[in-house]
Structure 1
Amino acid sequence: MGSQFVSHKVGMGLRPPHYPYLEENPQTDVAWFEAISENYMDSLGRPLELLLKLRKDYPIALHGVSMNIGSTAGIRVDYLEKLRNLIDRVEPFIVSDHICWTGIGTQNMHDLLPLPYTEDSLQQVVDNIDFVQDYLRRPLALENVSTYLSFRHNEMPEWDFVSEVSKRSGCALLLDINNAYVNGMNHGFDPINFLRSIPLDRVAQIHMAGPSDYGRYMFDTHANEIPEEVWSLFTQMAPQISHIPICIERDEDIPDFKTLETEVMKAAYILESSHESQRSTIFV
């Protein structure tokens, strides 16, 4: 795997346009891959075959988008059964989803919808997490999501809600730095304050991605290169997160594999530089 900046902590989202490249080039400068759970739960064809092939050479994380952890009707057992079967086959090092709701009953909205930051909502999420973790027989990591509206009856800021979800349920957190940036721009707070308010000892994974800027608001499209503002936040956080697995995401306008691999290497370089800086300070 060649480069001096390879870090065992920096991975990439696994996406279908990269299947041909990975089938021909199994050795890359990417340390691990994150697969979208739903893309493989009902598949017995090429996607799952490639995922299991990659699993022989790389650690794999499973990242869901339809668990509906904020549901007031509880979590669908048929969904969890499929997820548990996939977990048994892939043996991922982490299983994650989002702090949001995604539908009502069997109706999936195919979007990550915001929750009110209230005690009632918090308790519902915690109860659902308890059920999921018991069913899967393993801890879950949950991600902060991008939002474009806020509820007037919110009782706490987002960072307190996210922190309390982890504290009360025992779940880990997947900290998305891009989402903190998007929400800061959309709702008028400093995203570094959000990031510094999250208990990093509860963070099991970190996401980095690029949003779209529509002038009046930011939209979490994962369609662009990671902007300098997000890299700046990442760099500020690097001394405290160098031990945490990092994932580079891209979901639209996906470039060739080598282009995204460059972003992986940039993240690895920032982490390594931060580590070297810390060591230099210690030994001065």
Structure 2
Amino acid sequence: MPINRFNAFSGYGIGIGLRVPHYDQILREKAMVDWFELLSENFLAEGGRQRRVLDRVLEQYRVVLHGVGLYFGSAEPLDRDHLRRIKALVRRTGTPWLSDHLCWGSADGRYSHDLLPMPFTMAAARHTAAKIRQAADFLEVPVSVENISSYAELTFSTMTEWEFLSEVAELADCGILLDVNNVYIVSQNHGFDPHVYLDNIPHERVAQIHIGGHSRLATHILDTHDQPVADPVWKLYGYAIRKLGPTPTLLEWDDRIPPFEEVHREARKANRFLASLAPAQP
């Protein structure tokens, strides 16, 4: 198995996203969760309930920050005010790494509040990698980029998605947050073998994995995070784990959120794949 220098936290195990409907139960019952993933932008404001909850969570749990607003692929420079606020949160939480998406989402100062697909070209890879390096240098914490779901392909791309992801990670010298659900979604939407994707990324750069649910529509699969993980995604996750070795894994469930026990139970299904990597006892 590759030695992962991008997180060095292979013992982190299985985490879940910290979501508002579960706050009270988590704090009251001190749920047995390996770690929580926090959506960075939800905790940037000073004061208020979010910060109070955050401080109590930090007393009991390990956390990892995951963002949706850095837009590494956008043409304009990084938002320095946004970076300063994230850096303060990095220091407050002690997150061992930080992740955001390999996408763009803003132009001319206007924000789409969506994760838009990149053109897979060398020019885009160099531009994006330079911004990732700038962010990592400023934040002083390892950064990983996540592959997104997509529903259309840009005709002027000159490489595959996995080649683009690999190129960006190498140029930026950053980690990868491998969203296995998104790999499955784009493979079905765009017609390729997802195992080829997993075979051809730099395994030693994968710092974390996401799994989640999706919705199958008439013409495509939509990344909805509103139901349990589909069987094909679990199988692909098992394939990924055999390639990567023990890797921190996060279950995403962000819409139609069920009781905490159901989310926690779904997340723990990943343990059977991680346990299969343990050496046999003499």
Which TM-score applies when normalising by structure 2?
Answer: 0.92
The answer to whether the Cα contact below 8 Å between 2:38 and 2:64 also exists between their aligned partners in 1 is yes
Output aligned runs, 1:61-210, within 5 Å: 61-210=64-213
Q: Secondary structure at the match of 2:270?
A: helix
Amino acid at match of 1:173: I
Amino acid at match of 1:177: V
Amino acid at match of 1:31: D
Aligned: 1:231 with 2:234: yes
Structure 1: gaps spanning 5 or more residues: 1-6
Rounded Cα–Cα distance in structure 1 between residues aligned with 2:59 and 2:166: 35
- Give the deviation of 1:197 after TM superposition: 1.3
Residue aligning to 1:4: none
Q: Which one of 14, 19, 24 corresponds to residue 18 of structure 2?
A: 14
Amino acid at match of 1:138: V
The answer to whether the Cα contact below 8 Å between 1:143 and 1:174 also exists between their aligned partners in 2 is yes
Q: Secondary structure at the match of 1:248?
A: strand
RMSD: 1.5
Residue aligning to 2:277: 275
- Give the deviation of 1:35 after TM superposition: 0.4
Q: Secondary structure at the match of 1:147?
A: coil
Rounded Cα–Cα distance in structure 2 between residues aligned with 1:54 and 1:143: 25
Q: Which one of 205, 213, 227 corresponds to residue 216 of structure 2?
A: 213
- Give the deviation of 1:220 after TM superposition: 0.7
Amino acid at match of 1:279: A
Which TM-score applies when normalising by structure 1?
Answer: 0.92
Rounded Cα–Cα distance in structure 2 between residues aligned with 1:123 and 1:244: 27
The answer to whether the Cα contact below 8 Å between 1:118 and 1:154 also exists between their aligned partners in 2 is yes
Residue aligning to 1:3: none
Rounded Cα–Cα distance in structure 1 between residues aligned with 2:185 and 2:201: 16
Residue aligning to 2:60: 57
Amino acid at match of 2:160: P
The answer to whether the Cα contact below 8 Å between 1:126 and 1:165 also exists between their aligned partners in 2 is yes
Rounded Cα–Cα distance in structure 2 between residues aligned with 1:271 and 1:119: 35
- Give the deviation of 1:176 after TM superposition: 0.3
Rounded Cα–Cα distance in structure 2 between residues aligned with 1:121 and 1:104: 15
Rounded Cα–Cα distance in structure 2 between residues aligned with 1:8 and 1:128: 28
* Count of residues in correspondence between the two structures: 272
Residue aligning to 1:48: 51
Structure 2: gaps spanning 5 or more residues: 1-10
Rounded Cα–Cα distance in structure 1 between residues aligned with 2:244 and 2:20: 29
Amino acid at match of 1:20: D
Residue identity (%):
35
- Give the deviation of 1:43 after TM superposition: 4.3
